[in-house]
Amino acid sequence: MALAKRDDEKYGQEDQAYFSYYAMLTHQAQMLQDGVRTTAYQTAILSHPDAFADKIVMDVGAGNGILSMFSLQAGARAAFAVEASAMAHCLRNMVQSSKGGPQAPNSWANGRLAVVHSLMEQVTDDTLHEAAKADGVSLPTGEVKVDTLVSECLGVLLVHERMCETFLAARDRFLRPGGSMFPHAGTLVFGLLQDPKLWGEVRARGEWWNAENFYGVNLTPFKEMAYKEAFASPVVGCFTPSSVIGSTVTPTGSYTCDDHALCTYQVDFERITMDELRDFVVPVSWDVDQAVVAHGLGAWFDLSFGKVGDASFGMTTSPFAPATHWAQVRLLFDEPLALNRGQRVVGTLHFAVNDHRSYDIDADIRVPFGDNTVARRTAHWKLDRQTYSWDAM
């Protein structure tokens, strides 16, 4: 197989590193090896023949093309694999290899998979017709509308990388009225977090600068900025369920979490507007059932794919479930919050896009007391400035 060409420089400078990263087969393998993710998508696609059998499908940000292939397994008449990175060249090799007769690798995809090497936002009807012709896919002439969109357009905490915007762009331009989206929604989940060890480690990053004689230099003017930087950096990694305030151990040894301990915010891909995705506020409230110290918030996301049989089907990146490559996020306060049993914590999380393919998150968290006083914590987190820490599960 020929190596993927390095041609991502045709995009803007801010996108070059991003697309070069996703052009690496090493990274693509990491995502494929996430069995929770890959199994959930295949199950969702194969369980909805009404959305795939004899349909035209568009795979948004196709990467290695696995969702396109699942769509063909589900009976799709044709699939457009739209990929901006040089991974598109590897996909074209897959298409070419399928043309070698009945014994060729993936011969069942021959004449059904068209690779579109482009930013989704730059795709046109002509682009799709040219890709279909080049890869031997039969397509009606004229305007192109697809029946179903599939995408694994998701970053850390769902919205990091801002690829959800690309999913919406495909929806608004190419999805026929009444068409399907997989996934059709994502849900952000937030819980209060107790993690004194991690909080101490993050504080130590700032405390290091509290040095009056470092090789004869006083570093303390950096201290305040170092604290702000350390606590503005979300910590990505899997953490133990016991860190979530309100979690309990069941008789079988597994963890559960009461509804009052978690807050959710749904991103409905079928209906949300681009502006609503780029700037939104999450109201939060938690009831505390024990005296505890909160060091910040734990956050993750769930996906919804509709129903399989009579039950809703989805996937979670929760600490209460098997780990995924997305892991979870810890958003730490610069000062812990002491809470008593029976208190309610309320507030807002304001998400706004930034210029680094991510979001800034501004938190205003309050604990009202009976004497009309309020304990308050504010925080500013930059989702693109991630650090990493992995607890044993």
In tens digits, the chain (393 residues) has pLDDT values of 344 444 545 566 667 777 888 878 898 999 999 999 999 999 999 999 999 999 999 999 999 999 999 999 999 999 999 999 999 999 999 999 999 888 999 999 999 999 999 999 999 999 999 999 999 999 888 899 999 999 998 999 999 999 999 999 999 999 999 999 999 999 999 999 999 999 999 999 999 999 999 999 999 999 999 999 999 999 999 999 999 999 887 777 678 777 778 999 999 999 999 999 999 999 999 999 899 999 999 999 999 998 777 788 999 999 999 999 999 999 999 999 999 999 999 999 999 999 999 999 999 999 998 778 899 999 999 999 999 998 644
- Architecture of the domain delimited by 8-152: 3-Layer(aba) Sandwich (3.40)
CATH superfamily of 187-388: Hnrnp arginine n-methyltransferase1 (2.70.160.11)
Pick from 232, 179, 176, 178: which is nearest to 202 by CA?
A: 232
CATH 3.40.50.150: which residues of the chain? 8-152
* Tally of residues, the chain: 393
- How far does CA 153 lie from the centroid of its chain? 7
Q: Which residues of 234-245 are buried (b: 16+ CB within 10 A; e: fewer)?
A: bbbbbbebebbb
| Kind and range of the H or E run holding 278 | helix 274-278
pTM: 0.93
The residue type at 313 = F
Separation between Cα atoms, residue 69 and residue 59, nearest integer Å: 10
Encoded tokens for 37: 């993710």
* Strand extents, DSSP E, the chain: 56-60, 78-83, 113-117, 146-151, 175-182, 185-193, 235-236, 247-249, 255-257, 262-268, 279-287, 292-308, 311-316, 329-339, 344-353, 359-368, 374-382, 387-388
> Please, which residues have CB within 8 angstroms of residue 126's CB and are 6 or more apart in sequence?
none
Q: Would you name the residues annotated as active-site residues?
A: 152, 161
- Give the residue range(s) of CATH 2.70.160.11 domains in the chain: 187-388
* Alpha-carbon gap, residue 172 to 235, rounded angstroms: 34
